[in-house]
Structure 1
């Protein structure tokens, strides 16, 4: 894995400041500790930090074509690069290295902007074409690798793998985006293409941006979509066999590396499946790593150990301690914008553990989204059956009134939370799903935000993110629709962001076989009843894995990779939480209603309510604001109320 950075003068051909470009590149050194490279010519500058994985001696970047008219800086892995190299050689292209980066250069010469359609892998790259005076930015189909960009008032476009590189530029505004803040407190992350900074954008997954010198900036172009085209299946057995064959191939091509390779092993179905496939294809014991907890409700390490023993892996386990909340400020600095997924804590530690033994680790990310593994999918389908019985114009007043009369019972098991169910039945499909996945509900956000901040939102609501994607969805099936929404938002905005920043902080590359785009396309077309049958998610996957994994693992209750957050915030993190909520940056931000924050604290500490998700999001936001304010030359700018 690597880091990229660059500057492109949209309208002139002025010299690019080499010190600025070096600073943008080197602030991302953690992503590429092995080598640094830079290229400048009139009007453009490209920077690169390299983590050497393939062709250790020949892969330094930028990489050029024969006459140096094309240059590329790239972060990622193209797994079909050898086949593409042979294909491009038949077209007459000559290669000087055995590195996948050079494939991008010649693929651009051969196919232009459509080159991305030929790549199988994870990538974010910037390609400069001197003849066309154009810059081409592209990001992989599922958003495994990040790419951020901003257009400055001086006519420069700047881009980088991480936001922190862009923040080194003095011309960049630090003004925060109110809509992004609303999104953050709803989802716990900021969905693409927004960032917390108004001037910075994320290039969305499956999108590319072609910028021509002297022309107005065009909108990014989508080059790939999750198809959800029905797959022809003869039988359940045939589907299971083909799924396994496709997974094996996705794992096999991700085991190519010139450095030590291993896997994360959480004890869940997905990572266990990946390890089982790896063990069958490896001539030496697979290195596996897992995190354990003292709290049995969150500890999956016994299941991980069972898989490790079955496949005789070289297994490494580390316990997560309660004092790990001390990582809060480190995580806030790592993610560059507010990020409230508390599983970032164990993810950081498992990446740190893995890097002691390997440079590349395979993960099970993507299984829940592709194969309907989340419990919320089951509840959503149950509610959809009720919603289908009455039109919205009748449901909204009827169930809305019933919900207002029913007492709130967040502490109760979900079947007894009738108020939440009634509220969901009073909404349309997308609004109900948004409310169900929100870490802070719409009514609570309305209480949390100050009147001045709500005026800055101009009526914007976080549900609009899902509504935008739902309007473009290639499927109407209720299960497939919410899977599509998660693939477009939660997967890339939360899961993949979490893993990318945590792994890159330790110079570790993570590869996700279940996010192979060809596998994703095929899985999207499977009949929904093969993914979720009754209360069983990943149904066909579990059937396929029966010979490889114990039944006790395949059919146990899903735990997820989480931490005992509610107890931590009442215990070892309590003092830190109270101090943070009294921090001047919270009050000075003019975003929050202080009475609501104090009520959340009191109710959580007393045990009356579990506000851990909301309080953790506030804690991480405070750390972000404080670090932004304290950074030299970076002043927190607030719009007038």
Structure 2
């Protein structure tokens, strides 16, 4: 696992300043503390920081092809590199190393931009082709590895593994993108391909981008998407056997490492499944780690311990205090742009704990999206049955009026909290799902944003993000569609971003077997009724794992990985919240309605409403944009 950086002049062949490229590369030192180097020639500069995992003796980057025509910098792991290397040797290519980086060079020579279709793994890389006078950027199918880029007004392209790499270039404009502000306050992250800055982008998962010197427009290509192609189904027992076999194989290919390797073990279904498959695939005990909390409703260590005992793992755990808010200021530097998932704090801690024992850790991320594990999927499915029973022309005025009139009752038992359901029934399926996952819903954003910000938005809303993905969806099944939307937005923008930044902050590589693309292609084609059956999410996954995991691990209620924000904002962070949001911070930016900010803080701290989610979102926005140009002119 590594970090990449670069500058490509596609309008001329001017000299690249080595000091600037060095500063960009060093900004991501944490991603690769073992080695670092630069490649420079007129018109191109490539930088790399290395975290050595495979072929420790060689494999240094930037790496050149034998003929010197190609140079690559790469972040990730290609798990089928040995098979590809054997195939490329048969085609006449000679290898000097035993690492996957060199495979990229000769795969490019043999298959060109379609080489990415042959790679199984997680990756972001930049390949310079001297003869073609081009720079080729690629990102893996799910966006496990990040890649940021920006074209400066003078015709130079900047790119890097983190936004801080680009921010290290003195010519990068850091002007706020108003549409990204709208997206962020709805979702809690800035979705691909936007960033919080105008003119700075993320390369979307499953895409490549080619810049050619002299060509005015780069060539962008999507090389993969989740197919949702129905598969032939025999019996449920056969599906269970095949799922376990596919899961076992996806885990096994991710066990190749020349440094200590282990796994996160939360005590949930997904991480426990990964540990079970690891234990069955290797002779030595699995290294596992878990984070516990001193608040019972957030603590899952008993379940993690039961899995560890069953498989005799080398298990270690640590209890995190409910007062663990020391990371508050560090989160902004970690994520570079506003990011509001508060589980970033325990994720940071579990990565910190894992790095004490291992350099590589496997995680269970992706299971909820693929196997319909989120509770919101069941609620959405039930609402969608009602939506299909009544035309939108009748639903919108009827349930819209009920949604406006029904009181908001956060304090009441869930069965009496009908306002959100009425609002959802007044919308299309896609609009309703966006409404259900939004941190600040449309009505709240209308009160939160200032007239100046609304003017700059010119009617833009985050709905366009979801509608654009829905228009490209390969499936119109209601459940599969929202799974697809999550994989295009929440999975990459929130979950994978959180894990990448938290792990790389500790120079820890995280591998994600449930996001193995052959496994995903197969799972996406399964009937929806075998993923979500009745009220049981992950039905097939759980049934398949019954011989491998304790029953109470498989069928207990989902807990999540949260922190007690509501208590923090009424207790130890009470004054900090008022100072940052009301005391000349956000209130003076001109982006927000100052009176509404004060209302949110007062209602929460007086115990009238739980506004902890929007308040945390505001706090993270303030911290991440403190040094940026917030002017709307």
Give the TM-score of the pair, scaled to structure 2: 0.99
In the alignment, which residue of structure 1 is the partner of 2:308? 308
In the alignment, which residue of structure 2 is the partner of 1:440? 440
In the alignment, which residue of structure 2 is the partner of 1:632? none
1:340-366 CA-partner distances (Å, limit 9, x unpaired): 000000000000000000000000000
**Is contact 2:337-2:624 (8 Å) kept?**
yes
Bigger Cα displacement from structure 2, 405-414 vs 355-364: 405-414
In the alignment, which residue of structure 1 is the partner of 2:632? 639
SS of the equivalent of 2:498 reads helix
Deviation at 1:294, TM superposition (A): 1.2
Q: Distance in 1 between matches of 2:583 and 2:31?
A: 32
Bigger Cα displacement from structure 2, 581-590 vs 136-145: 581-590
In the alignment, which residue of structure 2 is the partner of 1:571? 571
In the alignment, which residue of structure 2 is the partner of 1:19? 19
Deviation at 1:314, TM superposition (A): 1.0
Note the 1:446-525 alignment, pairs <5 A. Answer: 446-525=446-525
Bigger Cα displacement from structure 2, 362-371 vs 595-604: 595-604
Bigger Cα displacement from structure 2, 70-79 vs 594-603: 594-603
Q: Distance in 2 between matches of 1:223 and 1:587?
A: 44
SS of the equivalent of 1:169 reads coil
Bigger Cα displacement from structure 2, 344-353 vs 549-558: 549-558
Q: Distance in 1 between matches of 2:329 and 2:458?
A: 32
Q: Distance in 2 between matches of 1:171 and 1:217?
A: 21
Q: Distance in 1 between matches of 2:34 and 2:130?
A: 28
**Alignment gaps of 5+ in structure 2:** none
In the alignment, which residue of structure 2 is the partner of 1:268? 268
In the alignment, which residue of structure 2 is the partner of 1:181? 181
Deviation at 1:601, TM superposition (A): 1.2
1:397-442 CA-partner distances (Å, limit 9, x unpaired): 1111122221111233433211111110000111100000001111
**Is contact 2:582-2:598 (8 Å) kept?**
no
1:472-507 CA-partner distances (Å, limit 9, x unpaired): 000000000000000000000000000000000000
In the alignment, which residue of structure 2 is the partner of 1:596? 596
In the alignment, which residue of structure 1 is the partner of 2:357? 357
1:164-219 CA-partner distances (Å, limit 9, x unpaired): 01011121111000100110000000100000001210000000001111001225
Deviation at 1:596, TM superposition (A): 0.9
Deviation at 1:583, TM superposition (A): 4.0
Note the 1:180-219 alignment, pairs <5 A. Answer: 180-219=180-219
Q: Distance in 1 between matches of 2:289 and 2:569?
A: 27
In the alignment, which residue of structure 2 is the partner of 1:231? 231
SS of the equivalent of 1:46 reads strand
**Is contact 2:193-2:201 (8 Å) kept?**
yes
Q: Distance in 2 between matches of 1:247 and 1:310?
A: 19
Are the structure 2 counterparts of residues 463 and 414 from structure 1 closer, same or farther at C-alpha, using a change threshold of 3 Å?
farther
In the alignment, which residue of structure 1 is the partner of 2:385? 385
Bigger Cα displacement from structure 2, 363-372 vs 404-413: 404-413
Deviation at 1:637, TM superposition (A): 4.6
Q: Distance in 1 between matches of 2:412 and 2:335?
A: 34
SS of the equivalent of 1:323 reads coil
Note the 1:131-150 alignment, pairs <5 A. Answer: 131-150=131-150
1:363-394 CA-partner distances (Å, limit 9, x unpaired): 00000000000000000000000000111111
Q: Distance in 2 between matches of 1:304 and 1:482?
A: 30
In the alignment, which residue of structure 1 is the partner of 2:164? 164
Q: Distance in 1 between matches of 2:583 and 2:313?
A: 47
**Is contact 1:73-1:125 (8 Å) kept?**
yes
Deviation at 1:523, TM superposition (A): 0.5
Note the 1:43-192 alignment, pairs <5 A. Answer: 43-192=43-192
Pairwise CA RMSD: 1.0
**Is contact 1:172-1:199 (8 Å) kept?**
no
**Is contact 2:589-2:630 (8 Å) kept?**
no
Q: Distance in 2 between matches of 1:319 and 1:565?
A: 18
Q: Distance in 1 between matches of 2:392 and 2:537?
A: 28
**Is contact 2:126-2:136 (8 Å) kept?**
yes
**Is contact 1:134-1:210 (8 Å) kept?**
yes
In the alignment, which residue of structure 2 is the partner of 1:399? 399
Q: Distance in 2 between matches of 1:444 and 1:219?
A: 39
In the alignment, which residue of structure 1 is the partner of 2:366? 366
Q: Distance in 2 between matches of 1:560 and 1:150?
A: 36
In the alignment, which residue of structure 1 is the partner of 2:582? 582
Q: Distance in 1 between matches of 2:374 and 2:106?
A: 41
Q: Distance in 2 between matches of 1:620 and 1:538?
A: 33
Give the TM-score of the pair, scaled to structure 1: 0.98
1:453-478 CA-partner distances (Å, limit 9, x unpaired): 11111101111111110000000000
Deviation at 1:588, TM superposition (A): 2.8
Q: Distance in 2 between matches of 1:445 and 1:294?
A: 34
1:53-89 CA-partner distances (Å, limit 9, x unpaired): 0000111001111111000000000000000000001
Q: Does 1:428 align with 2:428?
A: yes
Q: Distance in 2 between matches of 1:400 and 1:582?
A: 33
Q: Distance in 2 between matches of 1:513 and 1:192?
A: 23
Q: Distance in 1 between matches of 2:596 and 2:520?
A: 43
Q: Distance in 1 between matches of 2:464 and 2:372?
A: 23
Deviation at 1:564, TM superposition (A): 2.0
Aligned length: 633
**Is contact 2:25-2:49 (8 Å) kept?**
yes
In the alignment, which residue of structure 2 is the partner of 1:551? 551
**Is contact 1:252-1:278 (8 Å) kept?**
yes
Deviation at 1:597, TM superposition (A): 1.2
Q: Distance in 2 between matches of 1:43 and 1:585?
A: 42
Deviation at 1:285, TM superposition (A): 1.4
Q: Distance in 2 between matches of 1:278 and 1:574?
A: 45
**Is contact 1:5-1:159 (8 Å) kept?**
yes
Deviation at 1:446, TM superposition (A): 0.6
Q: Distance in 1 between matches of 2:621 and 2:165?
A: 20
Note the 1:34-45 alignment, pairs <5 A. Answer: 34-45=34-45
**Is contact 1:533-1:539 (8 Å) kept?**
yes
SS of the equivalent of 1:40 reads strand
Q: Distance in 2 between matches of 1:414 and 1:431?
A: 22
Are the structure 2 counterparts of residues 412 and 219 from structure 1 closer, same or farther at C-alpha, using a change threshold of 3 Å?
farther
**Alignment gaps of 5+ in structure 1:** 630-634
Would you identify which runs of 4 or more consecutive aligned residues in structure 1 move more than 3 Å?
Answer: none
Deviation at 1:567, TM superposition (A): 1.8
Deviation at 1:584, TM superposition (A): 2.6
**Is contact 1:203-1:220 (8 Å) kept?**
no
